[in-house]
Amino acid sequence: MKLQYNPNNKDSIISFAKLLIGKSVGGEYKNDILKLNLSSKDKGRLGKVIEELYFRYKPNPKPEADFKKAGLELKSAGLLKQKKGHNFVAKERLVLNIIDYELLVKQTFENNFLTGKNAHLLLVFYLYEQGVDIIDSVIKLVGDWPYTKEDLEIIKKDWEFIKRKVAEGKAHELSEGDTYYLGACTKGANASSVRKQPFSEIPAKQRAYSLKQGYVNHIIASIANDTTEAYGKLIPSVSAAKKQTIEEIVISKFKPFYGRSAEQILALTGVVLNVKAKNFHASLTKAILGIEIDKEIEEFEKAGIEIKTIRVENDNSIKQSVSFPAFEFEKIYSENWITSELKELIEGKFLFIFFKNNGDNYFLEKVKFWNMPFSDRVEVRKVWLNTKKIIQEGRIFKDFAKDKLGNIRVSKKSNPIRLNNLPKISESLICHVRPHSNDSTETFPLPVEDKILKVKEYSKQCFWLNNTYVRDEVYLNK
């Protein structure tokens, strides 16, 4: 059959791909798909169907682009519809190709990334809907993605960091929080998916290059010509990106304000903010970085950098633990650690901003980029597994909190305070689980009925980094 596009011409390929918009390959190739004998567990099924049945070529296992002469690599990825508005966001990071640790240490960025499979992407985005087979999902967005020169400089530094860690015999310690735009994500069915690494006898988890979820959101907005989000840039030019990393640029902007209170910082920047607003510290960070308050920090959004502002007392103690978003019991019940939200969160990159009390006020002492060490991530996994087990067994509820006289204690809203079996701060040096808020009426469904309360919902909970862990491993650790 004659091809309906020119496989050697980039514009022809992209134009032909855009004809998929509004269609589902399941509807177009229902009978032919059965002949491919694809496993229902194969996450790459949609891409394979598009390659073989739409573009009429066999999947390419070589380290070169799918459309070699045109320099285009085809990738399919999921979209989620935002709860507010009609915009879309990425369902997850965009996985590129498996990292060959043995080969990586012999390569340069230019002969690996720039001339390989990932230099120029042709992206087919489908709408992910729970319960809908990926093959039947509607394709909503198609376009190509040539990286900007500024982005390539950051991606190059990310790639070189990954290579350096492998060369040091630490491929088993890789984390997505090590880098900014280009990640090294785990890739495999389970924890037993490992590979040999060249300078260590320790097996390393199989990993693949990936573009971080925040970065993929920018790709989506660009292809869709979505200008609803306004961004301010930290890195003004390619030359700036070559000279300094994102970390170096951020620290250089914060340093002039060290030793000053939030009020003094505002006076120096000339920015007027409501100090009682919930987003005060986020807005203060933008003021320090020279970003307009009504704009997002482009590089932070792309890299998925989480900002945590911490108050330190004059004796170096930290009173508050650091929370992550509330988790859904049903999601933990059904997911595994490899694909869990918590794993993704703790493998991310954080910017900690420390304000220290000198007796009269809190003053900006320092900022620090941080990602969790490998050994600590192992401990967090244990806490997560314990939480999962308690949920699976329906052992959430433990008892009602009581006073010294044995009377049931109630919250400010007159609700009885319920104690649970979830991991306490005393059970781990790193993290624990406790309520997301003081309102016990805010609940999530339980996948298994609680054996004592006989209910199928419980107050919202979240994972927290222990305040002592943040003090010892982030604040005090050089």
**Residue 143 C-alpha from the chain's centroid:** 23
Rounded mean pLDDT, 263-283: 92
Residue 429: partners with Cβ closer than 8 Å, 6 or more residues away: 379, 466, 468, 469
What are the distances in angstroms from CA 81 to CA 134, 369, 386? 15, 31, 33
Are 39 and 121 found together in one domain? yes
Determine the length of the chain. 478
Q: Position of tokens 């985005």?
A: 125
* Alpha helices (H) along 261-356: 262-269, 280-289, 298-303, 329-334, 341-346
Comparing 334 with 190, which gets the higher pLDDT? 334
Report the amino acid identity of residue 373.
P
Give the pLDDT confidence score for residue 465 in this predicted structure.
98
3 falls within a domain: no
46 falls within a domain: yes
Rounded mean pLDDT, 278-285: 92
Rounded mean pLDDT, 283-300: 94
DSSP 415: P
Query: Domain residues for 77?
Result: 10-223
Give the pLDDT confidence score for residue 84 in this predicted structure.
63
**pLDDT at 42 exceeding the cut of 70:** yes
Are 65 and 81 found together in one domain? yes
4 falls within a domain: no
Domain boundary at 180, 206, 223, which? 223
**pLDDT at 183 exceeding the cut of 60:** yes
pLDDT tens readout for residues 377-391: 999 999 999 999 999
Cα distance between residue 298 and residue 150, in whole Å: 12
Domains contained in the chain, number: 3
pLDDT tens readout for residues 122-170: 999 999 998 899 999 999 999 999 999 999 999 999 999 999 999 999 9
Comparing 260 with 193, which gets the higher pLDDT? 260
Are 61 and 201 found together in one domain? yes
Give the pLDDT confidence score for residue 41 in this predicted structure.
76
Rounded mean pLDDT, 282-297: 93
Domain boundary at 223, 257, 283, which? 223
CA dihedral (136, 137, 143, 147) positive or negative: negative
Are 150 and 81 found together in one domain? yes
Q: In which band, very low, low, confident or very high, does the pLDDT at 436 lie, cut at 50, 70 and 90?
A: confident
Residue 164: partners with Cβ closer than 8 Å, 6 or more residues away: none
Give the pLDDT confidence score for residue 414 in this predicted structure.
77
Are 383 and 243 found together in one domain? no
Are 70 and 215 found together in one domain? yes
Is 235 within 8 Å of 243 (Cβ atoms)?
no
The CATH number of the domain holding residue 342 is: 3.40.600.10
Global model pTM greater than 0.85: yes
Q: In which band, very low, low, confident or very high, does the pLDDT at 1 lie, cut at 50, 70 and 90?
A: low
Q: In which band, very low, low, confident or very high, does the pLDDT at 408 lie, cut at 50, 70 and 90?
A: confident
Rounded mean pLDDT, 419-438: 92
Q: Is 430 helix (H, G, I), strand (E, B) or coil?
A: coil
pLDDT tens readout for residues 439-450: 777 899 999 999
What are the distances in angstroms from CA 68 to CA 7, 53, 72, 73? 9, 19, 7, 8
pLDDT tens readout for residues 215-246: 999 999 999 987 656 788 999 899 999 999 99
Rg (CA), the chain: 25
Q: In which band, very low, low, confident or very high, does the pLDDT at 184 lie, cut at 50, 70 and 90?
A: very high
**pLDDT at 463 exceeding the cut of 80:** yes
184 falls within a domain: yes
Give the pLDDT confidence score for residue 130 in this predicted structure.
84
Are 352 and 277 found together in one domain? yes
Domain boundary at 170, 188, 223, which? 223
Give the pLDDT confidence score for residue 413 in this predicted structure.
76
Are 361 and 458 found together in one domain? no
Say what percent of the chain tops pLDDT 90: 73
Give the pLDDT confidence score for residue 64 in this predicted structure.
84
Tokens encoding 12: 């022809």
pLDDT tens readout for residues 299-326: 999 999 999 999 999 999 999 999 999 9
Are 200 and 52 found together in one domain? yes
Q: Sheet of 120-127: strands edge to edge? A: 88-90, 73-81, 120-127, 139-146
Comparing 60 with 240, which gets the higher pLDDT? 240
Give the pLDDT confidence score for residue 286 in this predicted structure.
95
Are 265 and 356 found together in one domain? yes
173 falls within a domain: yes
Among 407, 382, 410, 377, CA closest to 205: 377
2 falls within a domain: no
343 falls within a domain: yes
pLDDT tens readout for residues 102-111: 999 999 999 8
pLDDT, mean over the chain: 91
Is 69 within 8 Å of 8 (Cβ atoms)?
yes
Rounded mean pLDDT, 295-302: 93
Are 80 and 218 found together in one domain? yes
Adjacent-strand bridge partners of 223: none
Give the pLDDT confidence score for residue 191 in this predicted structure.
62
Give the pLDDT confidence score for residue 243 in this predicted structure.
93
Are 178 and 275 found together in one domain? no
Report the amino acid identity of residue 411.
S
Q: In which band, very low, low, confident or very high, does the pLDDT at 55 lie, cut at 50, 70 and 90?
A: very high
**pLDDT at 85 exceeding the cut of 60:** no
**pLDDT at 393 exceeding the cut of 80:** yes
pLDDT tens readout for residues 340-374: 999 989 989 999 999 999 888 999 999 999 999 98
179 falls within a domain: yes
